Structure 1
Amino acid sequence: MTSFFSPYSHDFVRIAACVPRIEVANPRFNVERTLELLHQGDRERIALMVFPELGLSAYSIDDLLHQDALLEAVEEGIARLVAESADLFPAFAVGAPLRWENRLYNAGIVIQAGRILGVVPKIYLPNYREFYERRHFASGAQVGRQEITVAGERVPFGVDLLFRSIGRCAFTFHVEVCEDMWVPQPPSTVAALAGAEVLLNLSASNITIGKAEDRQLLCGSQSMRCIAAYAFSAAGPGESTTDLAWDGQGGIFEDGLRLAETERFPAGSTMAVADVDLGRLRAERMRRVTFGDCGRNLNVTPNDFRTLQFSMDAPEEALSLRRPVERFPYVPSDPSKLSENCYEAYNIQVQGLAKRLQATRTEKIVIGVSGGLDSTQALLVCCRAMDKLGLARTNILAYTLPGFATSEGTKGNAWALMKALKVSASEIDIRPAARQMLQDLDHPFAEGQPVYDVTFENVQAGLRTDYLFRLANHHRGIVVGTGDLSELGLGWCTYGVGDQMSHYNVNASVSKTLIQHLIRFVAASGDVDQATADILHAILATEISPELVPQDASGQIQSTEAIIGPYALQDFNLYYLTRYGFRPSKIAYLSWHAWKDAASGTWPPNIPASAHRSYELSEIKRWLRVFLSRFFTSQFKRTAMPNGPKISSGGSLSPRGDWRAPSDAGPQVWLEELENNVPDVEPEPSGSVHQQQGA
C-alpha cells in the first residue's frame, strides 16, 4: 500500500514559491535558472510552481522593456521553457512582458507538460512613489475571452482564466500579478468564489523596512478570506539596485496559516515548498456557508471564467510530507502562542462561570476535588471567578470523596490544594454508602469477593455525584463539573455522573492535553504562591487514573491511558475527526507524520516526557480504532451534556454548538475505511518518506 505514504493520496498538492537568481535584461540566463528550479521541482514531485513577475526579462529594466530585441529574446525563452518542460511533472507560472494589439502587458504565462495553457495580464499597474509601470504597460482589466500568440502558439489570454488539473491530482488555481494583491478587492477573491483553491501571485516587490511583514499579512489574510492556498514569489538576487533593493521573499499560506517561506536576501536561487491540504480547504468552504453566500451575492459563477483543463497524475511513491503538523493540535508548540492560548482559555472559563453565577443569582459553588488534573483546573477557575465577582473563596464548597481505590497521594494533593486556595474544604468517605448499595444490589464485592466490574466502579462515581448535587441543594449552590473534552470524546465518563453531568462545566471544551498547560500557566502566572505552584506541579506529575479499582497484586494502578489510549494520540484523532471531518486513513497519515520520530528539543518548557516519544503506524492505527469505536457509541452522553463555554477553534462537542449528531450512529463506515486504507507495516527506512522536511 505504497500510495498511503504519498501526500497526494490524502488530498495534498505540493506547491513551490520560486525565486531564481537572474541577470538584468538577460532572458537566456534567466531561463537557465528557471529550468534549474523546474528540474528540482520535478525531482521533488512538485505539482505547481510560481516564479516572479517579469522574471524572464527582470523587473527593474525600465525603458528596456520597449526594446524589440529584448522582447523577442523573452519569447524565445518561453519557447524553450515549453519545449524542455514536456517531460517534467510540474505545472508552472512564469512572468514576462508580452505584446498584444499594439500594447505591452505584464503577464503571467502558465505552462504544463510542454504546452502553454494560458496567459494572464496584470490588472493594477502601480504608478506611485518608486513605481512607474503605466509608462510601459497596459492594464489587463478589460481583457477577457481573448487569445494571444506566444512562441508561435495561439493560447487563451485574459483575466478570466482558471486552470484546473483533472485526474488523480485534481485542483484548480488562479494567477494574479503583484499589485493585484494590494488593492481592496484582489482579482483572486472572485476567482476563489468561482472555484479556485490555489491562488498564485507573481511579484517583483522591492524591499523596504517593514515590507516583508506587510506581504505576510496580505498573503495570510487573503488566503484566510478566500479559504484558499496563496503562493507568492517576489524578485530576488540579480535585480538592478540602481534605486531599489530586492529580498526574494516567497511564501505559501493556507487559510491564514504560513506553511513555508524562502530565505530572504539569498545569494542564489531558492524556493519554498509546502504540501497544501486541499481537503482542509474544501471542508472549510463546505462548512462556512457564508463563503458560498458571498459568491451568490456578488453574482460570481464558474461561467464568469474560462476554465482551462490539464491532466496531472498524482505520484504514488512514498514522499515525506512537506508541511508542519502539530503533535498537539489543541496546544501550539510555539511558546508565545501557547502562553497566549492559555491566557485566553483560562479567562474564557472564568468569564463563563462568573456569568452563570450572576445569571442564576448564586453565590456558592459545590465541587468535587480528586487531586487529578480536571478537578484541579476546575477549582482554579472557580477561585478566579469568585475573585472576579468580589465573593469570598470560602463560598466554594470543595469536597474530596475518597473511595475504595483512592490513593493517599491524590487525596493528599486534593487536601493540600484546597487548603492552599483557601476554599471551604471537607471530606466525605463514600465507602460506607457504596458498600450498602453494593449489598442492596447483591453484588459479589459485598460478600468479600474482589469483583471490580462496571457496577463496582459506577456505584462509587454515582455516589460522588449524588452527594455533590444534594450538597448544592442544601447550600443553595451549583455543582461545577470537571469532565474535559477528551473524556467526552472517548466516552470516558459515566452517564449522569460528575464528569458528564453538572449544573455547569467549565472544562467541557478543554482537551486533556491543554488542561495540563492551563495548570502550568496558573502555576507560573504569579496569581498563586510558590507552595501552591509546587502542589500544582505534583498533581501534574501524577499518572492519570479514575482510581475506581484497587491496585493489583503487583501494585499496578488503574491506568486510564492503558485502557483508552494515550491522550496525545486521542486528542489528535478527536481534533481532525470533529474539526475537519477527515477520513480515518488521512488522520492516521497525519498522526504518523507527527509522531513517527522522537521530538526535537524545540518544544516549550515543561512539556511532559510523553510528548517527546514516537509511535509506530501500527500503534497509531490500533488507538485510532479504539477512538472510533468509543467516539460513536458515546454520542448519547454528549447529547445530554451541561452548558459550558467553547474554548478553541478546535471546537466543542456541545449538542447546542459545534457537534450535532445522532446517538444511534455506529462506527462501521469509519472502521472499514481505516482497515481498508491504512497498512500495518511502514516502508523501509531507506525510502524517501523518512526524509523529514517542513515539519
Structure 2
Amino acid sequence: MSIALVQMNQRVGDLAGNAAKILEWRAKAADADLVMVPELQLTGYPLEDLVLKPEFVRRSLEAAERLADATADGGPALLFGALHVEEGLVYNAMVLAEGGLVIARTLKHELPNYGTFDEKRVFASGPLPVPMEFRGVKIGVPICEDIWREPVCAALARAGAELLLVPNGSPYELDKDDVRLRLAQDRATETGLPLAYLNRVGGQDELAFDGSSFVIGSSGAIVVQMPDWEEALQLTEWRRGATGWTCETRATHELDPYPADIYAAMVTGLRDYVGDNGFPGVILGLSGGIDSALSAAVAVDALGPDKVWCVMMPSRFTSAESLEDAEGCAKLLGVRHDVIPIVPGVEALDQMLAPAFAGTKPGLAEENIQSRLRMVTLMALSNRFGPMVLTTGNKSEMSVGYSTIYGDMAGGYSVLKDAYKTTVFALARWRNAIKPDGALGAVGPVMPERVIDKPPSAELRPDQKDEDSLPPYAVLDRILEALVEKEFSVRETAKLTGADDELVADIERKLLRAEYKRRQAPPGVKLGARNFGRDRRYPISNAFHTGKP
C-alpha cells in the first residue's frame, strides 16, 4: 500500500482555494493508493469563532461533499480534515473519500483547551474512535491532540487498528520537535503500531506551522523525516508482514537548529500574514538599533527588499552614529530608506502643550511624544501608500512596559513580540553570518556589526541607555523567563536566577502593571511556550502579587 503524506499551507476560511490546492497535491500523487492532508485542511485551522457562524458551517459541509465527489475520477483515495455536523453539534473530523463516496469518517475525541487552543468552545468531542476500513486494512486515525493522551490510540489498537495515521495542526514553538517525537514514540511503543505524523506549514495570525512531519516504526525509530517550513509531498510505501505493517520508505531531512528555527518562524508568520491580508508590503521605523534592524531583515527575507520601506525619523536626541547605522542597514538590505525628521512636529507639540504643561518639569511625556510622532508619521505613509506598519518591540520591553502605548507599540504586526532581547542578539549575529534557505534577502551581513555591539538606547533624552531603567538584559530575561514562561513566584525566581528578591519583585510589579499595554499591542508570531496573548491571559485589573505576603 502506498500512502502520500502532504504537508501543505492553508488559508483559513478559503474553502474553494483550500479544496483546489488539496486536489492539486492529490494529482501530484497519482500513483498513491491514499493521499492524506492535515487536520481541517479544507477549512483552515484554527477556525476560532468561524465555527459559530452557521453559514460558514453550511458552506464547509457543501465544500466537503464536492471534494469527496472529486475522487470519482479514479485517482487515489483522499483522507482530509473537514467539519462534520451531527444532531446540531459541530465536530472536527477526518473524512476518507474514494470513488466519489465518503467511505469512512472519524471525529476528534481529545479537544485541546489550553494556550492558543479553544476547541472546547467551538467543537463537540467525538466518541472514542474505531479504525477506518480501507481496502482490507484497518487504519487508526487519531487527530492531533488524540495522541497527546493514551486512551484514543489504545482504543484504536484494541479495535484492531494495524497502523496509525495522525493528521495535525500543530503550531511551532521552541523545542516542540522533540516533544512531538516523544509523544508519537510513546503511542507507537504502547500500541505496537507504526505511526505517520503529518503536520501543516505556513502562518496563521500569531501561529507559525513548521511541518516537520515524520514516520516511525512500531519500535519508535524514525524512518521518514520530512522537511520543516516548506510544503512537501512524501510518498511512503507500506508492506504487511507476519508481524504487521512496515513503512519501507526511507527519507531524511535535517531540521533547523536554534536559532534558525526561530528565524524561520518569524519569516513564515510575517510572510503569510502580509500575503493573506492583502498588504502590498510593510513599512517600519529604522532607528539604527538592533530591534528595528532585525525586524527589517526578517521582513526582507520574508517579502523581498522591494516590499520593505524603512524610515529613519531622527529627533534632536538621535546620534550621528544611529543615522549612519540606519543608512548602513538599509544599504545592506537593499530597501528604500527615507529620513523624515520629527523635530518640527515635536516643536509644534511643545508650543501647543506649553500652556497646559506650564510650571512642570519636562520628562516622560516629552519622551513619549517623540515615539508617538514617529508612529503618526508611519501611519500617515501607510494610509497614503498602503504598506502595513511593522512594529519592532521585543518581549523583554513589552514584559516590563518599557515601550510607548500608541507609539512604538502601534502597528499591524510584530515579528519580535515573543522574542526576548537576548534572543534578538542571537538572531542578529546568526543572520549576519548565515542566509537561510528560501530567504529573499541578500547573502552576507544584514546590519552593521556596530548595531549589535553598541548599548541599546531609545534615544528619547540625552545619553539615554536601556540599562538606566532596566537591569542588564541577560539578567532581566532570565527573570522574565521564570516569571512568564514558568509562572514562578518572586521567591522561586530569585532562588533560580540568583537575583535579589527586591529586584525580582520590582520586575514582577512592572510585568503586571504593563498588562493593559500588551492587551492593545499588535499580533506577533508565537515562538515559546507562553506568548503574550492566547497563551497568557491575565486580568488587567489585578491586585495579586507574589512578592507580597
Give the structure-2-normalised TM-score.
Answer: 0.51
CA offset digits 1:537-565 (Å, max 9, x no partner): 21011111110001xxxxxx212122122
Aligned positions of 1:448-463 closer than 5 A: 451-463=361-373
Cα distance in 2 between the residues matched to 1:574 and 1:426: 36
Cα distance in 2 between the residues matched to 1:463 and 1:543: 24
Contact 1:435/1:446, CA 8 A, preserved across alignment: no
Partner of 1:267: none
2:283 equivalent among 358, 366, 376: 366
How many residues are treated as equivalent by the alignment? 304
Aligned positions of 1:164-175 closer than 5 A: none
Matched, 1:644 2:524: yes
1:432 equivalent among 344, 349, 354: 344
CA offset digits 1:198-225 (Å, max 9, x no partner): xxxxxxxxxxxxxxxxxxx99x948997
SS at 1:590 equivalent: helix
Partner of 1:351: 268
Would the alpha carbon gap of residues 433 and 521 (structure 1) be closer, same or farther in structure 2, given more than 3 Å must change? same
Partner of 2:240: none
TM-aligned CA deviation for residue 591 of structure 1: 0.2
Cα distance in 1 between the residues matched to 2:453 and 2:540: 36
SS at 2:309 equivalent: strand
Would the alpha carbon gap of residues 405 and 645 (structure 1) be closer, same or farther in structure 2, given more than 3 Å must change? same
SS at 1:426 equivalent: strand
Contact 2:434/2:444, CA 8 A, preserved across alignment: no
Cα distance in 2 between the residues matched to 1:562 and 1:457: 15
Cα distance in 2 between the residues matched to 1:478 and 1:485: 21
Matched, 1:564 2:444: no
Partner of 2:16: none
Cα distance in 2 between the residues matched to 1:506 and 1:637: 17
Partner of 1:532: 445
1:497 equivalent among 394, 407, 411: 407
TM-aligned CA deviation for residue 394 of structure 1: 2.9
TM-aligned CA deviation for residue 648 of structure 1: 2.1
Contact 1:462/1:496, CA 8 A, preserved across alignment: yes
Cα distance in 1 between the residues matched to 2:526 and 2:493: 23
Letter aligned with residue 385 of structure 1: A
CA offset digits 1:406-431 (Å, max 9, x no partner): 11111210111112211010000101
Cα distance in 1 between the residues matched to 2:532 and 2:392: 15
Partner of 1:400: 312
TM-aligned CA deviation for residue 497 of structure 1: 1.3
Cα distance in 2 between the residues matched to 1:363 and 1:466: 20
Contact 1:632/1:666, CA 8 A, preserved across alignment: no
Matched, 1:574 2:480: yes
Contact 2:433/2:444, CA 8 A, preserved across alignment: no
TM-aligned CA deviation for residue 623 of structure 1: 2.4
Cα distance in 1 between the residues matched to 2:303 and 2:487: 39
Would the alpha carbon gap of residues 543 and 395 (structure 1) be closer, same or farther in structure 2, given more than 3 Å must change? same
Letter aligned with residue 469 of structure 1: M
CA offset digits 1:246-281 (Å, max 9, x no partner): xxxxxxxxxxxxxxxxxxxxxxxxxxxxxxxxxxxx
Would the alpha carbon gap of residues 222 and 423 (structure 1) be closer, same or farther in structure 2, given more than 3 Å must change? closer
TM-aligned CA deviation for residue 625 of structure 1: 2.4
Cα distance in 2 between the residues matched to 1:443 and 1:565: 37
Letter aligned with residue 445 of structure 2: T
Cα distance in 2 between the residues matched to 1:225 and 1:585: 36
TM-aligned CA deviation for residue 338 of structure 1: 13
Letter aligned with residue 492 of structure 2: K
2:546 equivalent among 667, 670, 673: 670
TM-aligned CA deviation for residue 377 of structure 1: 0.8
Cα distance in 2 between the residues matched to 1:587 and 1:467: 41
Which region of structure 1 is more displaced relative to structure 2, 583-592 or 565-574? 565-574
SS at 1:366 equivalent: strand
TM-aligned CA deviation for residue 652 of structure 1: 0.8
Partner of 1:583: 489
1:631 equivalent among 502, 511, 514: 511
Contact 2:490/2:501, CA 8 A, preserved across alignment: no
Cα distance in 1 between the residues matched to 2:268 and 2:298: 9
Cα distance in 1 between the residues matched to 2:322 and 2:392: 16
2:428 equivalent among 516, 519, 534: 519
TM-aligned CA deviation for residue 446 of structure 1: 10
Cα distance in 1 between the residues matched to 2:375 and 2:413: 13
Cα distance in 1 between the residues matched to 2:451 and 2:467: 17
TM-aligned CA deviation for residue 526 of structure 1: 4.3
Unpaired segments ≥5 residues, structure 2: 1-149, 152-177, 188-253
2:532 equivalent among 630, 653, 656: 653
Cα distance in 2 between the residues matched to 1:504 and 1:472: 13
Contact 1:570/1:623, CA 8 A, preserved across alignment: no
Letter aligned with residue 536 of structure 1: P
Letter aligned with residue 482 of structure 1: T
Cα distance in 1 between the residues matched to 2:504 and 2:355: 34
TM-aligned CA deviation for residue 444 of structure 1: 9.8
CA offset digits 1:60-107 (Å, max 9, x no partner): xxxxxxxxxxxxxxxxxxxxxxxxxxxxxxxxxxxxxxxxxxxxxxxx
Contact 2:372/2:407, CA 8 A, preserved across alignment: yes
Cα distance in 1 between the residues matched to 2:321 and 2:416: 23
Cα distance in 2 between the residues matched to 1:568 and 1:457: 26
1:386 equivalent among 291, 299, 303: 303
Would the alpha carbon gap of residues 443 and 504 (structure 1) be closer, same or farther in structure 2, given more than 3 Å must change? farther
Cα distance in 2 between the residues matched to 1:640 and 1:372: 24
Letter aligned with residue 368 of structure 1: G
Contact 2:259/2:427, CA 8 A, preserved across alignment: yes
Cα distance in 2 between the residues matched to 1:457 and 1:402: 13
SS at 1:385 equivalent: helix
Contact 2:431/2:445, CA 8 A, preserved across alignment: no
Cα distance in 2 between the residues matched to 1:407 and 1:587: 37
CA offset digits 1:484-541 (Å, max 9, x no partner): 111111111111112x2211111111111100010011011046778736x4321011
Letter aligned with residue 652 of structure 1: N
Letter aligned with residue 503 of structure 2: W
CA offset digits 1:365-406 (Å, max 9, x no partner): 11100011110110001100113xxxxx13311100001211
Letter aligned with residue 541 of structure 1: D
Moved over 3 A (4+): 220-226, 443-447, 526-533
SS at 1:671 equivalent: coil
Letter aligned with residue 516 of structure 2: F
Letter aligned with residue 660 of structure 1: R
SS at 1:532 equivalent: coil
Aligned positions of 1:214-293 closer than 5 A: 221=182
Cα distance in 2 between the residues matched to 1:664 and 1:374: 30
TM-aligned CA deviation for residue 586 of structure 1: 0.9
Cα distance in 2 between the residues matched to 1:506 and 1:662: 24
Cα distance in 1 between the residues matched to 2:282 and 2:384: 12
Partner of 1:376: 293
Would the alpha carbon gap of residues 517 and 443 (structure 1) be closer, same or farther in structure 2, given more than 3 Å must change? farther
Contact 2:415/2:524, CA 8 A, preserved across alignment: yes
Aligned positions of 1:591-602 closer than 5 A: 591-592=497-498
Contact 1:345/1:648, CA 8 A, preserved across alignment: no
Aligned positions of 1:125-204 closer than 5 A: none
Partner of 2:419: 510
Cα distance in 2 between the residues matched to 1:559 and 1:443: 31
Cα distance in 2 between the residues matched to 1:222 and 1:428: 53
Contact 2:483/2:508, CA 8 A, preserved across alignment: no
Contact 2:396/2:420, CA 8 A, preserved across alignment: yes
